[in-house]
Amino acid sequence: MSQITLHHDKLFNDLIKRISSEYKVDFSGYKSDFILNRIEDRLQAHNITNFSDYLKIVENDDLEYRALAGLLTIHVTRFFRNSYTFDLFKNEYAPEIAGKGGPIRIWSAGCSTGEEPYTMGIIFTELFRERGVSLPYKIFATDIDPAAIENAKAGIFSRSALIEARLEIVDRYFELINGMYHLIPDIRPLVSFSLHDVASPVNPAPSDSVYGDFDVALCRNVLIYFNDNLQALALHSIHKSLKKGGIVILGQSEAMPPDFEKKFTAENERLRIYRKR
Ligand SMILES: C[S@@+](CC[C@H](N)C(=O)[O-])C[C@H]1O[C@@H](n2cnc3c(N)ncnc32)[C@H](O)[C@@H]1O
């Protein structure tokens, strides 16, 4: 292990500022442990133990800078990730939301390469197909990483993105072309992708949604990277953007901070499903 000390090192702070300004997000609010672990990974990749040596490399080598920025904006995801959450959502919450009439509005905050918002598109398409009804529904999907958003828009996935999806879903919604799974054209237009910082103090809702008013917000496996302050900013934005009674779903290793108990009730603590009061 190298002896990295953060926050006192001007070079390090400059580096974080540079990445923050490029990605238009304040990485200074990210948990130090998270950033430290990512930097440790890069030190190991270079077989060095000295943080100052690493800073020199990253300063002069754009490829290394990209590698580090890529690690900070890590975007692991898959369709129906933690599938029991989506099973419960489809059986309980989607019918409840549809029962109120449309249009249904969903936000996937920190959508990475699109698997999560497309999963929501598939869920509502399936629900309406099974019940023989139809309501307008739109999914707003946002991330701070432009490369992730571009990949998401393409709608082409590897087999590993579908390990939690049922075979009938894969058959119905994907076309296998040269070893890659292409989402069918019906689903892609349901999702509107844009760049947006979920912890932005100025824009609570993605601008293409205009005013939020969401029935559901998913913010899964994003808060884990944030310190308390940034988590609070993100949750305030989500609260503001949801309809009264709207549902928020967090990631499996995330929990609603106690300060937010007045704003959200726990619907299913184990599956991290909460409702706006
Ligand atoms: C691990 S992925 C989660 C993807 C998906 N939500 C899921 O659970 O499968 C985390 C995503 O959050 C994005 N992210 C990190 N900080 C963000 C921020 N401040 N605003 C929006 N997205 C952010 C990253 O770029 C990455 O794509």
Question: Does residue 26 have its Cβ closer than 6 Å to ligand 1?
Answer: no
Question: Does residue 276 have its Cβ closer than 6 Å to ligand 1?
Answer: no
Which domains does the chain possess? 10-72 (1.10.155), 83-276 (3.40.50.150)
pLDDT score of 3? 53
Model's pTM, two decimal places? 0.84
State the distance from the centre of ligand 1 to the C-alpha of 129, rounded, in angstroms: 30
Average pLDDT, the chain: 90
**Which residue among 86, 222, 253, 254 has the greatest number of ligand 1 atoms within 8 angstroms of its CB, and so is best to mutate?**
222
CA distances in angstroms from 51 to 2, 3, 39, 60, 62, listed in the order given: 7, 7, 9, 15, 17
pLDDT digits (tens, 9 = 90+) for 200-210: 888 888 888 88
Beta strand 242-250 with 273-276: parallel, antiparallel or unpaired?
antiparallel
**H helix runs in the chain, sequence order:** 10-23, 32-46, 51-60, 62-72, 83-88, 94-99, 115-131, 146-154, 167-173, 228-241
Ligand 1 atom closest to the CA of 115, numbered from 1: 9
pLDDT score of 74? 76
Give percent of the chain with pLDDT exceeding 70.
Answer: 95
pLDDT digits (tens, 9 = 90+) for 84-112: 999 999 999 999 999 999 899 999 999 99
State the distance from the centre of ligand 1 to the C-alpha of 99, rounded, in angstroms: 30
